[in-house]
A and B are shown apart, each in its own frame.
Chain A
């Protein structure tokens, strides 16, 4: 099931109903908390569209709190400490991302070596943040293929099957692809 969270609604509900800009760390932390509370009401496995369409300005501090810190919670699949384990198997598509939002988001993702799938205001779906060439190519092939197994990715991307499996598992850990039993889907490819 795909869930939808309108950031401007979360902002108005959690911080102030007069605001339309996502600025300052306390605001970002409050909005992230609002997102987490909504996620907690959903299932253990979720794909959530985080919608920036009605957000005016996004500054670096807020982008760090909302995008980077949110993502960091769900990409620690290898965490030894139970308190650092992801609370659920959550995936995100960031929609309605404008050029000025991208500036802040790219910066904070790069700092934390993270990446997201974003849909620009013109509908284009893209990877944003720090992604290696082989990961990017794998995600792009998967986005084009739709649901696929490692052997299909291997054939299309010109890699061997173990490499394709490894790439897909890494994309899943980074929340850029989802696994369904033996097959995989690129986040953004099915919405």
Chain B
């Protein structure tokens, strides 16, 4: 039996929850068909989370590619179909396009599993990000190095903690409805062990009765707790927090059944959500908005 799930017209971190809700009652070994024929737009989070979802299924899911030519071409330019071909049974017209040279795709979807991958990602993003961040988002030139550092630390969470490979993508676009400004968005998703299990593996750790995914996220993201005893650990997420604070950005991290967010004044998200539909691993999104002239 195959379970059919229709993807929303706009696929981002919020609407992806509807897919997870629908999947919650589907056993992991049941074949699923993800119908993206009517999907018109996807954020980097939406695309990387889709790959992560496929990684988490024991049977490769079927994916009906978007019918809209513009959408399918865009997905192709992000490199989505290159990776999806190894994880999904693709149905429909997959456009043949080169993945490079697109100005709004700062970093096409890139697999991350080793330290070498982080070097590659950092090297590529520095070449492309300077002009976008300074000229299009009006950020200070100093923001460029911090942006690459933030990306590096976010990717290292996969290498150090996930226990399996994940994906990273960076894109800039105009967020007309929610913000009326351009934004640059980093999405880093994996289907690994997640924060709760990672922290539980710390030597001598005895989780209390109230221990859950939400508490694990609060410890790791807000207090810099790591599974390693080394006192120098846990600085990566703290550095990401400082960077988004400096540039009025937003950070959201989903892991297991919880999601934590550090919310700027321009957004109306909630700081902590618990009892969400389960999803393995960790999914992180970092959003840096265009700087307003008076800031």
Q: A residues engaging B (CB < 8 A)?
A: 16, 19-21, 23-27, 56-61, 64-65, 68-69, 99-100, 103-104, 107-108, 111-112
Q: A61 and B236: CB pair below 8 A?
A: yes
Q: Known contacts A21-B126, A59-B153, A104-B149; can you find 16 more A-B pairs with CB under 8 A? A: A16-B119, A21-B119, A23-B149, A24-B118, A59-B122, A59-B152, A60-B149, A61-B236, A68-B232, A69-B232, A107-B239, A108-B232, A111-B231, A111-B232, A112-B231, A112-B232
Cβ-defined partner of B232 (8 Å) among A16, A20, A59, A64: A64
**Given A19-B119, A24-B118, A27-B115; A60-B146 close (CB under 8 Å):** no
- Chain B residues whose C-beta falls within 8 Å of the C-beta of A23 in the assembled complex: 118-119, 122, 149, 152, 156
Q: B residues engaging A (CB < 8 A)?
A: 115-116, 118-119, 122-123, 126, 142, 145-146, 148-149, 152-153, 156, 159-160, 231-232, 235-236, 238-239, 242
- Chain B residues whose C-beta falls within 8 Å of the C-beta of A60 in the assembled complex: 149, 153, 235-236, 238-239
- Chain B residues whose C-beta falls within 8 Å of the C-beta of A59 in the assembled complex: 122, 149, 152-153, 156, 236, 239
Q: A21 and B122: CB pair below 8 A?
A: yes
- Chain A residues whose C-beta falls within 8 Å of the C-beta of B146 in the assembled complex: 100, 103
Q: A57 and B159: CB pair below 8 A?
A: no
Distance in angstroms from A33 CB to nearest chain B CB is: 14
Q: B153 and A99: CB pair below 8 A?
A: no
Q: B159 and A24: CB pair below 8 A?
A: yes
**Given A24-B159, A100-B146; A57-B235 close (CB under 8 Å):** no
- Chain B residues whose C-beta falls within 8 Å of the C-beta of A20 in the assembled complex: 123
- Chain A residues whose C-beta falls within 8 Å of the C-beta of B123 in the assembled complex: 19-21
Q: B236 and A57: CB pair below 8 A?
A: no
For B233, the closest partner residue in chain A by CB is A64
Cβ-defined partner of A61 (8 Å) among B148, B235, B242: B235
Q: A108 and B160: CB pair below 8 A?
A: no
**Given A24-B118, A27-B115; A100-B145 close (CB under 8 Å):** yes
- Chain B residues whose C-beta falls within 8 Å of the C-beta of A111 in the assembled complex: 231-232, 235
Return 16 A-B CB contacts under 8 Å, by A number. Answer: A21-B126, A23-B122, A23-B149, A24-B156, A25-B115, A57-B126, A57-B148, A59-B122, A59-B153, A60-B153, A60-B235, A60-B239, A69-B232, A100-B149, A107-B239, A111-B232
Distance in angstroms from B12 CB to nearest chain A CB is: 28
- Chain B residues whose C-beta falls within 8 Å of the C-beta of A65 in the assembled complex: 232
* Cα separation A24 to B151 with both chains bound (whole Å): 11
* Cα separation A56 to B148 with both chains bound (whole Å): 11
**Given A23-B122, A100-B146; A57-B232 close (CB under 8 Å):** no
- Chain A residues whose C-beta falls within 8 Å of the C-beta of B235 in the assembled complex: 60-61, 64, 107-108, 111
Q: B236 and A56: CB pair below 8 A?
A: no
Q: A26 and B153: CB pair below 8 A?
A: no
- Chain B residues whose C-beta falls within 8 Å of the C-beta of A25 in the assembled complex: 115, 156, 160
* Cα separation A5 to B242 with both chains bound (whole Å): 31
Q: B156 and A61: CB pair below 8 A?
A: yes
Q: A100 and B142: CB pair below 8 A?
A: yes
- Chain A residues whose C-beta falls within 8 Å of the C-beta of B242 in the assembled complex: 107
Q: A57 and B156: CB pair below 8 A?
A: no
Q: B142 and A57: CB pair below 8 A?
A: no
For A99, the closest partner residue in chain B by CB is B142
Q: A57 and B231: CB pair below 8 A?
A: no
- Chain A residues whose C-beta falls within 8 Å of the C-beta of B126 in the assembled complex: 21, 56-57
